[in-house]
Amino acid sequence: MFDRAKIIDDSFARRLRDGIFPQPGPHSKNAAEFAAHRLVDIFDSQIMSRHLDFWARQSKGKTFYSIGSSGHEGVAAMAAASRQSDMAFLHYRDGAFLIQRKKQQGGLTPLHDMALSFTASADDPISGGRHKVLGCAKTFVPPQTSTIASHLPKAVGAAHAIGRAKRQALADAILPDDAVILCSFGDASANHSTAQGAINAAAWTAYQGLPMPIVFLCEDNGIGISVRTPGGWIEANFSQRAGLHYIACDGLDMVDALSGCSEAVAWARQKRQPVFLHMRTIRLMGHAGADVEAGYADMAEIEAAEAQDPLLHSARILLERQILGADEIAARYETMRARVQRVAGKALNRPKLPDADTVMATIEPKQKTKTSSSLPGDAARQKIFAKDQRNLSKPATLAKALNFALADLMLQYPQISVFGEDVGRKGGVYGVTQGLQNKFGAARIFDTLLDEQTILGTAIGMAHNGFVPIPEIQFLAYLHNAEDQLRGEAATLSFFSAQQYQNPMVVRIAGLPYQKGFGGHFHNDNSLAVLTDIPGIIVACPSGAADAPGMLRECVRLAHEDGRVVVFVEPIALYHTADLEAAGDEGWLADYAAPDEAQQIRFGAPHLHGDGTDLCILSYGNGYYLSRQAETALRKAGITTRIVDLRWLHPLSEEAILEAAAPCERILIVDECRRSGSLSEKLMTMLAEAGRGDASSRLTAEDCFIALGPAAEVTLPSKDSIIAAAGKAVGRT
């Protein structure tokens, strides 16, 4: 009763022998339009996928099997209907798709490769044993894990990038101009806000007449783990969407599936518009290896699904069209079983990842995957800055320095695209991107719809096609509904692809507190913990116009040359700050230096101000600014200081920080983020492990949200509280 795999396996042989097949669906197509060898090839992919599922269940304890593809074998038709250069972001039940596509490529070993993945072998060609993922760099299938719709935004971004690359004649473009993006997911995932947002973004784009060549393949098996999808829900939800072309097909019937997939791909390729392909499937053997379906489903429901086995439908079609006889089908089925047992069995003995260093080796992408980009000539730069000569000659604020730096970077790197909410015509809420659209056009700096998941997903997808995206998240507080695009997608891609894929991008985020209570917690967010615990990404934070351009240039270099995911957090309160100690002193302005004249700022290098030995203040962003304000009072109190602007917040450069603090007797950390989960905790741990814990103390914000109005300031570090904490640290309270 409980070994459903054996029951399904035995049932196929018995029903094939006795000629008992499920009836064709109402939309069954004429198989004559497809060559016989093509249908046999798809059937072979289906039975290979099925026997891999059987083998994985039989090898418990030796394989790390999670979610199988049984019941979804019809997706092999999508691989057959598309080109290998049509990048595919796959549902976790799409083993048959990957098998079919690898077979079409030639020279690959899909059976052996998937078995290596099931066994978490270090020889697995896609993840190197780090996860059971469906992916293949040679066939344009970036690896996906157990995605719950989180891959849809980047698929939309990849589709968007095809038209952008063509319009810009981008030399680094990876995908052909007429490529189509394929993106598959389940009916339960279709309800997720990420899926709804991505599909809406695709339709929103197409509705405006912009290219969006994508096929959303919804594999509808009617259930999400144990929760049933209401009958007719998917069709009712997606068949009448503006800007979205709806097609339905039966994934149980490989001919109908091939017909529907061919129609969907052709529509997307020719019209450059999004398609929602609603494919009927079933789920066999429960949700995952450990799932006992009988615990929440009636046996009649389970058996009814098994009676609709897509392999039985395929056998019926091959028999009806006299392509193969029953004995030939049975022989192919058993031959594939033996082949899977033989080839996959060898995978059990292949080596596993031996140690932590090997496991972690792919967290960061390979360095220097591209050569550095040469600086533009003087004539090109003078043309871009023709209307800015007066401002270029004056000391700049942080916002203006970033604006100049972005213009220089866009001139130097044709791969850069800047986008986000209000960054185009308006120039950003704080004017940082003002005038850039006039300089470089709407193809390179453009406004998006209001959806942070789509913004970050667009960046990931565009990076798949040779761009270096610079998306903007309008406020740090707005990141949280989209953080999985960084944590679960961008940051993991190098790790799960054994460095075969990367996500070069620089995400600009306006954030941090000290806006005099404006907007409360929704516009003042003093928590970076959501970013600083993600392996592989870089988090940078400039404090003023002196450093920001050089840091931004280094961030773009890291993205372009090394494929890094970089988050550039810009302190809103310092955007337009001019003065340091007294009104009119303009102590926080700085001259903007052209790229060929500026001093280079390397990743990990902090900035040191002062050479005192009594106290080292470690800080960043607004905290560094306030510490500089406190410096004069501390000097008058006889306390000599060295103030360190960390600049690079994740990963922390331990050696550089300890070296900067070494000459000082005492150390004070000034952290504008909350006491719990802030950077100060990591710094205190670092100093303690280096033997300087007794010499160290910290001043942080309270564990509180940012209040509205003047109340905001009382929970944050201030000039006065820094002076008091410094005096206490050196014993001069």
Residues tagged active-site: 523
Kind plus residue range of the DSSP H or E element containing 507: strand 505-511
Q: Alpha-carbon distance 342 to 164, whole Å? A: 47
- Residues 711, 712, 714: CA angle, nearest 5 degrees: 70
R_g of the chain computed on alpha carbons: 29
- Residues 459, 117, 51: CA angle, nearest 5 degrees: 120
Q: Among 500, 515, 579, which Cα is nearest to 544's?
A: 579
Q: What is the dihedral of CA 689, 694, 695, 701, to 10 degrees?
A: 90
Cβ contact 526:513 at 8 Å: yes
Cβ contact 41:80 at 8 Å: yes
Q: Which residues pair with 244 in a beta bridge?
A: none
CB environment 386-414: b (16+ within 10 A), e (fewer):
eebeeeeeebbbbbbbbbbbbbbbbbbbb
**What is the 8-class DSSP label of residue 590?**
B
Beta strands in 175-213 (DSSP E): 181-186
Q: Alpha-carbon distance 75 to 281, whole Å? A: 9
Q: What is the dihedral of CA 93, 95, 101, 107, to 10 degrees?
A: 160
**Backbone φ, ψ for residue 724 (5° rounding):** -65, -45
Cβ contact 672:717 at 8 Å: yes
Q: Alpha-carbon distance 367 to 593, whole Å? A: 27
Q: The tokens of 219 are what?
A: 């594999």
Number of Cβ atoms within 10 Å of the Cβ of 672: 27
Q: Long-range contacts: 13-20, Cβ < 8 Å, 24+?
A: 13/330, 13/333, 15/312, 16/312, 16/315, 16/326, 16/329, 16/330, 16/333, 17/326, 17/330, 19/326
- Mapping DSSP onto H, E and C, the string for 48-84 reads HHHHHHHHHHHCECCECCCCCCCCCHHHHHHHHHCCC
Amino acid 205 reads T
CB environment 220-257: b (16+ within 10 A), e (fewer):
bbbbbeeeebeeeebeebbeebebbbbbbbbbbbbbbb
Is the four-CA dihedral 625, 630, 636, 640 of positive or negative sign? negative
Cβ contact 140:85 at 8 Å: yes
